[in-house]
Amino acid sequence: MKKLGTFLLLATVLVGCQSPDPVQKASPELQREYNAAFQKMLNDPGNLDVVMAYAQVATKTGDYEGAVGAYESLLLVDANLPRVKLELGILYYRLKSYDTSRIYLEGALASPTLPADVRKPAELLLAKMPKQSKSKRT
Amino acid sequence: MSKSNVAVLLLLRALLVGAAVLGLFSTAQAQGRIGVTQSIQNNPVGKPPGGLDRVLRVGTDVQADEIISTAADDRAHLVFLDGTTLTIGPSSSMTIDKFVYDPTTQKGELAVNATKGVFRIIGGRISKTSTITVTTPSATMGIRGGIAVFGVTVPSATDSGGTTSILVYGNSLTVTAGGVTQTITVPGLSVTTPTGGTPGAPTIAVQGSLAAALATLVGNSTASAATVAAIQTLVASNLGNPVTLQALIQAIIVANTATPITTTTTTTTLAVIVVPENPNQTQASPN
- Exposure string for A72-93, b = 16+ CB within 10 A, e = fewer: bbbbbbbbbbbbbbbbbbbbbb
Residue, of B135 and A113, whose pLDDT is higher: B135
Of the candidates B221, B245, B248, the beta carbon closest to that of A79 is on: B221
Scanning every residue of chain B, which has its alpha carbon at the shortest distance from the alpha carbon of A68? Answer: B122
Q: Which residue has the higher pLDDT, B236 or B24?
A: B236
**For residue B252, is it within any domain?**
yes
pLDDT above 50 for B23: no
Mean pLDDT over B226-249 rounds to 80
Give the separation between CA A71 and CA B218, rounded to whole angstroms: 11
Lowest mean pLDDT among B23-32, B54-63, B152-161, B206-215: B23-32
Give SS3 for A104.
helix
Q: What is the pLDDT of residue B207?
A: 66
Phi, psi (rounded to 5 degrees) for A81 = -130, 85
The whole-number pLDDT of residue B24 equals: 37
Using the beta-carbon criterion (under 8 Å), do A103 and B246 form an inter-chain contact?
no
**Domain assignment present for B12:** no
Q: Which of B29-33, B47-51, B73-77, B170-174 has the lowest mean pLDDT?
A: B29-33
Q: What is the CATH number of the domain that holds B182?
A: 2.60.120.1440
pLDDT at position A60 is 94
A30 near A63, Cβ under 8 Å?
A: no
Classify A106 as helix, strand or coil: helix
B45-47 and B33-41 strand pairing = unpaired
pLDDT at B62 over 70: yes
- The pLDDT, as a whole number, for residue B222 is 74
Nearest CA in chain A to B35: A42
Range of the domain at B64: 29-284
Of A20 and B104, the one with more pLDDT: B104
Does residue B258 sit in helix, strand or coil?
helix
Q: Find the mean pLDDT for residues B126-143.
A: 96
Q: Between residues B212 and B45, which one has the greater pLDDT?
A: B45
In a domain, B1, yes or no: no
Question: What percentage of chain B reaches a pLDDT higher than 90?
Answer: 57
Q: Is there a domain that residue B2 lies in?
A: no
Decide if B156 is inside a domain. Answer: yes
Q: Mind telling me how many Å the CA of A29 is from chain B's nearest CA?
A: 17
| Average of per-residue pLDDT values in chain B | 82
Q: How far is B11 from chain A (nearest CA, A)?
A: 32
Give the pLDDT score at A101: 95
Cross-chain CB nearest to A10 (options B221, B255, B268): B255
pLDDT band, very low/low/confident/very high, at B158 (cuts 50, 70, 90): confident
Give the chain A residue nearest B251 (alpha carbons).
A10
C-alpha–C-alpha distance, residues B191 and B179, integer Å: 15
pLDDT at residue B142, rounded to an integer: 97
Residue B67 forms part of a structural domain = yes
Identify the closest residue of chain A to B90 by CA–CA distance: A76
Cα Rg of chain B, angstroms: 24
Count: domains in chain B: 1
A8-64 per-position pLDDT tens digit: 444 444 443 434 788 888 999 999 999 999 999 999 999 999 999 999 999 999 999
For B218, which DSSP code? S
CB-closest option in A81, A90, A133 to B232: A81
Q: What is the pTM of this model?
A: 0.80
For residue B18, being part of any structural domain is answered with: no
Asked whether residue B17 is assigned to any structural domain, the reply reads: no
Question: Which comes out higher in pLDDT, residue B205 or B21?
Answer: B205
pLDDT band at B10 (very low <50, low <70, confident <90, very high): low
Measured distance CA(B284)–CA(A24) in Å, rounded: 33
Q: Over 90: is that where the pLDDT of B79 sits?
A: yes
> Mind spelling out the 3-state secondary structure of B105-170?
CCEEEEEEEEEEEEEEEECCCHHHHCCEEEECCCCEEEEEEEEEEEEEECCCCCCCCEEEEEEEEE
Tell me the CA distances in angstroms from A97 to A138, B14, B167, one per residue in order.
18, 58, 9
- How much of chain B, in percent, has pLDDT values that exceed 70? 78
Measuring CA to CA, which residue among B165, B161, B151 is closest to residue B202?
B165
Residue A69 contacts B where some CB pair is shorter than 8 Å: yes
Q: Does B121 have pLDDT greater than 70?
A: yes
**What's the rounded mean pLDDT across residues B214-219?**
90
Which residues of chain A lie closer than 8 angstroms to B122, CB-CB?
65-66, 68-69, 72
Whether B195 has a pLDDT exceeding 60, the answer reads: yes
- Chain B, 72 to 101: residues with Cβ < 8 Å from chain A are 75-77, 79, 81, 83, 85, 87
Q: Phi/psi of residue B105, each to 5°? A: -90, -15
Kindly indicate the confidence band of residue A117, based on its pLDDT and cuts at 50, 70 and 90: confident
Q: What is the pLDDT of residues B242-283, one digit of tens each?
A: 777 888 888 888 888 766 554 333 332 333 344 443 434 333
User: Each residue of A89-98: pLDDT tens digit?
Assistant: 999 999 999 9
